[in-house]
Every structure is written in structure tokens, then in C-alpha cells.
Amino acid sequence: MEFGDRLRQLRLENDLLQKELGKKLGVSESAISAYEKGIREPKYSKLKEIASYFCVTIDYLIGASDIRNDSSQFLFPILKDVNIDELKKIYQALEKLKKKDI
């Protein structure tokens, strides 16, 4: 399966329109369409962002592997939309809980 096919599959599995995915990734709807049709390929930095968003490896995205993710890389997919400042706060809260031996 090619990159465009994988991207389309992941987008549909997540009930996203091309426009919605484009907005989340900071690209146009036409860019998503071009990626899915194989007309255009994303830059490496955008490829990393797409893989991160869908919690899959780049190898999976480009069709080099059928293994979607390395579980050690994506232990908490629920956190995929959390920014770094929010992650720091979550980490600090977990550290406080750990000290209380809950």
C-alpha cells in the first residue's frame, strides 16, 4: 500500500474530511487530496507530523512496514493533541501523585 492509500485509510478511520485533516496539520484540503492521489508528497517534517498525529510510524505511512506503531513510541495516543506545556503540567501532576504513594 502506498503513502496516499495509507493516509486516506487513516483519515477515514478517524472520520475526518480532507479539509479537517488539513486544518489539523496546517495544510490545505487540496494538499491532503494531492497526497492521497500520489500527486504530491509531504516534506519529511510534515511526514513526521502526520505519523505523530495518527500514532503510526513513518515506515507504516510510506508502506515500508505493515506494523502501525512501535508501542514504546506511542504509549499514550490520547495525548497526541496535547502541547508541550500541557505535557509538562501532566508530568508534574504525576510526580506529585507518585510522591503521595497513591
**Mean pLDDT computed over 79-94:** 78
pLDDT value for 27: 97
Identify the band that residue 46 occupies on the pLDDT scale cut at 50, 70 and 90.
very high
Q: What grid cell was written down for 55?
A: 500514532
Residue pair 90/97 in contact by the 8 Å Cβ criterion: no
Q: Please, is 69 exposed, middle or buried when counting C-beta atoms within 10 Å of its C-beta (0-12, 13-18, 19+)?
A: middle
Per-chain mean pLDDT for the chain: 87
pLDDT value for 9: 96
For 1-16, the pLDDT digits (tens) are 799 999 999 999 999 9
pLDDT value for 69: 79
Residue pair 47/58 in contact by the 8 Å Cβ criterion: yes
Quick one: 3-99 is in which CATH superfamily?
A: lambda repressor-like DNA-binding domains (1.10.260.40)
Checking if the pLDDT of 72 tops 50, the result is: no
All structural domains of the chain with their residue ranges: 3-99
| Whether pTM exceeds 0.75 | no
Q: For a pLDDT cut of 90, what percent of the chain falls above it?
A: 59
